[in-house]
């Protein structure tokens, strides 16, 4: 039996100038009626792929693949940690303590320094309200006093006599006035019944009015004498400090003679002159910081 060879032709749509060397050789074999030449490397590639697949399957099944993945993950983590450490070291800036400053909000202030005189808001110059001899002075300059404390005491002998005499005169006049009022009432009753003359009633009325006026004047004298007696003792009008003392025991003073000065140091004020250029910026209520000569660096706070 004879086999019939069939010539295989390969159709190629490429022009001759576009054919590769291998395609041109295949075309020549087809023109001669020969089958296409098989490339010997195809079997080698197939064998290599089968071997590679078998090796990969063995590598996975043997557990080495899991170990490989674990080692690779550990190496990756270590590399990442080292990279993070290098980045942290690069980002850290070492500063000395004196190079660090804490920022905080603050109010900017413009300071005006001026010099003035300090004076208490409340002070009193005590003067004598009687003419008498100073019997005792209980305080000295610089002493602290409370309201009502005795500061100066005068000899009140003459004042006591004047008060007693004025009181006695007023009492005598009061008795006379009571008698005159009784006489007037009796005379008026008689006159109303026609038993007393009108001139007797007028005389009784005049006596009553005169004694009433006399008693009023004498009561005024008693009040003045009592006030003078009370003024024989000078007391502190408020809590404060004796700033100045002007009298000593045994000294005779007249009415109006200065005795001492008491000041209240709880509230002080400063009188100072500021430049005209600062006038628009000065207003009541502005804060003021004061330093006083004799108090060192102590700062007192106040307001305009």
pLDDT digits (tens, 9 = 90+) for 259-300: 999 999 888 788 878 788 777 777 888 887 777 776 677 777
Residue 4 lies in a domain: no
> Where does the pLDDT of residue 17 fall: very low under 50, low under 70, confident under 90, or very high at 90 and above?
low
41 and 171 share one domain: no
Q: Which domain holds residue 70?
A: 16-89
**Across 70-84, 183-197, 250-264, which has the greatest mean pLDDT?**
250-264
Query: Which tokens belong to 58?
Result: 């063995």
Q: Looking at per-residue confidence, does 37 or 7 come out higher?
A: 37
Query: Which tokens belong to 180?
Result: 């005159």
Is-contact 156 134, C-beta < 8 A?
no
198 and 75 share one domain: no
Q: What is the 3-state secondary structure (H, E, C) of 247-286?
A: CCCCCEECCCCEEEEEEEEEEEEEEECCCHHHHHHCCCCC
For 12-162, list the strands marked E by DSSP: 116-127, 132-137, 144-145, 150-154
Strands 150-154 and 252-253: unpaired
166 and 146 share one domain: no
34 and 55 share one domain: yes
SS3 state of residue 86: helix
pLDDT at 79 over 90: no
pLDDT at 89 over 60: yes
The predicted pLDDT at position 10 comes to: 43
Neighbours of 149 (CB within 10 A): 16
Total structural domains in the chain?
3
What does pTM read for this prediction? 0.52
241 and 220 share one domain: no
pLDDT digits (tens, 9 = 90+) for 24-76: 777 777 777 776 665 555 556 666 666 666 655 555 555 555 666 677 777 78
Residue 198 lies in a domain: yes
127 and 77 share one domain: no
294 and 178 share one domain: no
276 and 127 share one domain: yes
CATH label of the domain that carries residue 123: 2.40.50.100
Q: Is 9 left (phi over 0), alpha (psi -120 to 50) or beta?
A: beta
140 and 258 share one domain: yes
Residue 266 lies in a domain: yes
78 and 123 share one domain: no
167 and 145 share one domain: no
Q: Looking at per-residue confidence, does 29 or 7 come out higher?
A: 29
Q: 28-37, 211-220, 228-237: which range is least confident on average? A: 28-37
244 and 220 share one domain: no
């Amino acid at each position: 039996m004879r086999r019939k060879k069939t010539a295989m032709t390969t159709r190629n749509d490429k022009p001759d100038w576009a054919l590769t060397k291998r395609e041109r050789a295949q075309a020549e074999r087809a023109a001669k009626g020969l089958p296409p030449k098989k490339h010997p490397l195809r079997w080698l590639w197939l064998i290599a792929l089968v071997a590679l697949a078998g090796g990969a399957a063995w590598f996975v099944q043997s557990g080495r693949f899991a170990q490989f993945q674990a080692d690779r993950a550990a190496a990756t983590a270590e590399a990442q940690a080292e990279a993070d450490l290098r980045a942290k070291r690069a980002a850290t800036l070492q500063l000395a303590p004196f190079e660090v400053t804490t920022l905080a909000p603050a109010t900017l202030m413009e300071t005006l320094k001026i010099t003035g005189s300090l004076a208490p808001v409340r002070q009193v110059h005590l003067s004598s309200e009687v003419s008498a001899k100073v019997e005792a002075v209980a305080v000295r300059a610089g002493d602290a006093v409370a309201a009502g404390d005795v500061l100066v005491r005068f000899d009140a002998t003459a004042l006591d006599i004047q008060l007693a005499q004025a009181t006695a005169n007023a009492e005598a006049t009061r008795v006379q006035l009571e008698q005159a009022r009784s006489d007037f009432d009796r005379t008026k009753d008689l006159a109303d019944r026609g038993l007393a003359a009108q001139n007797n009633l007028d005389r009784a009325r005049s006596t009553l009015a005169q004694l009433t006026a006399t008693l009023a004047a004498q009561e005024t004298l008693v009040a003045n004498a009592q006030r003078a007696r009370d003024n024989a003792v000078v007391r502190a009008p408020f809590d404060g400090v004796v700033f100045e003392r002007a009298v000593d025991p045994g000294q005779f003073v007249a009415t109006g003679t200065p005795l001492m000065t008491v000041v209240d140091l709880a509230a002080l004020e400063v009188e100072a002159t500021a430049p005209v250029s600062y006038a628009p910026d000065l207003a009541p209520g502005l804060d003021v910081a004061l330093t006083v000569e004799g108090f060192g660096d102590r700062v007192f706070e106040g307001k305009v």
